[in-house]
Amino acid sequence: MSKLFRAVIMGPPGSGKGTISERIAQSFGLQHLSSGDFLRENIAANTEAGVLAKTYIEKRLLVPDHVMTRLLLPRLEEMTRHSWILDGFPRTLAQAEALSRACELDVVISLNIPLETLKERLRHRWIHPASGRVYNLCFNPPRVQGVDDISGEPLIQHEDDRPEALVARLRHYKDVAKPVIDLYKAKNILHTFSDTDTDRIWPHISSLLNTKIRTDQSSAQRASTN
């Protein structure tokens, strides 16, 4: 890939962001950068930001914007020679504005998944509370049922993943994400995908990225031969 390519993926809990990001990374050679994974690495390494972030994550709250941008933006600066897909950041308008100042995005993918599907997926979700590792009994089960693969500790189901709590969480997600989505819509880089099934969404995302990446490559080639 001659021109660098920068993409963001957005979606509510259970929308399949992580799965789709992995497929994009594998199929198109982009680095998958996940804000959640990055926070978990910081928690495991007991960094100052990690200790602070943990208190919010445990309460299922968003980590404050200034903590997130201070963590994420230097990481993106290290990636100036790589194409990437950013998963989980930005989550708020302040984060999106900070990201816009740091780099130009080519594509924003927004996953718009029906509530019933999200409820069903989260019903099968188990987490390892100490690390934040997430399992799904349908498509990403632990090796031993009810047990974390790495630590061997028990997995739990989160109160917040219960259907009643999910509606409130989703409403919160939509309120916070709306100005971010509006910003990317106004920049003409937003692409929204709606379906109940990740495998049905994937071909559309794949063909979008094929077009975008190939178009960018040929225009970069044209520029270099002119």
Asked whether the beta carbons of 109 and 9 are under 8 A apart, the reply is yes
**DSSP code of residue 10:** E
DSSP 159: G
- Stretch 6-45: interaction string toward ligand AMP, x if CB under 6 A: -----------------------------xx--x------
Q: 19 among the known binding-site residues? A: yes
Task: Give the nearest distance from C-beta 94 to ligand AMP in angstroms.
Answer: 10
Tell me if 122 sits within 8 A of 13, measured CB to CB: yes
Least distance to ligand AMP, CB of residue 134, Å: 7
Judged by CB under 6 A, the residue of 32, 54, 91, 125 near ligand AMP is 91
Q: Is 91 labelled a binding residue?
A: yes
Shortest distance, position 147 Cβ to ligand AMP, whole Å? 20
- Kindly identify the residues of this chain, within the stretch 50-89, that bind ligand AMP according to CB under 6 A: 56-57, 60-63, 68, 88-89
Q: Which is nearer to ligand AMP, 44 or 61 (CB)?
A: 61
- Among 15, 42, 95, 198, indicate the residue that binds ligand AMP (CB under 6 A): 95
Q: Report phi then psi at 194, rounded to 5.
A: -125, 120
**Can the peptide bond before residue 179 be classed as cis, meaning omega within 30 degrees of 0?**
no
Nearer to ligand AMP, 10 or 213 (CB): 10
SS3 147: strand
End-to-end alpha carbon distance in the chain: 19
DSSP string, 48-113: HHHHHHHHHHHTT-PPPHHHHHHHHHHHHHTTTTS-EEEES---SHHHHHHHHHH---SEEEEE--
Residue-level length of the chain: 226
> Count residues contacting ligand AMP (CB under 6 A)?
14
Q: Is 16 annotated as a binding residue?
A: yes
Three-state DSSP state, 174: helix
Q: Is 137 within any annotated ligand binding site? A: no
Binding-site residues, please? 14-19, 35, 40, 61-63, 88-91, 95, 125, 134-135, 169, 198
Binding-site residues for a ribonucleoside 5'-triphosphate, please? 14-19, 125, 134-135, 198
Binding region for ligand AMP (CB under 6 A)? 35-36, 39, 56-57, 60-63, 68, 88-89, 91, 95
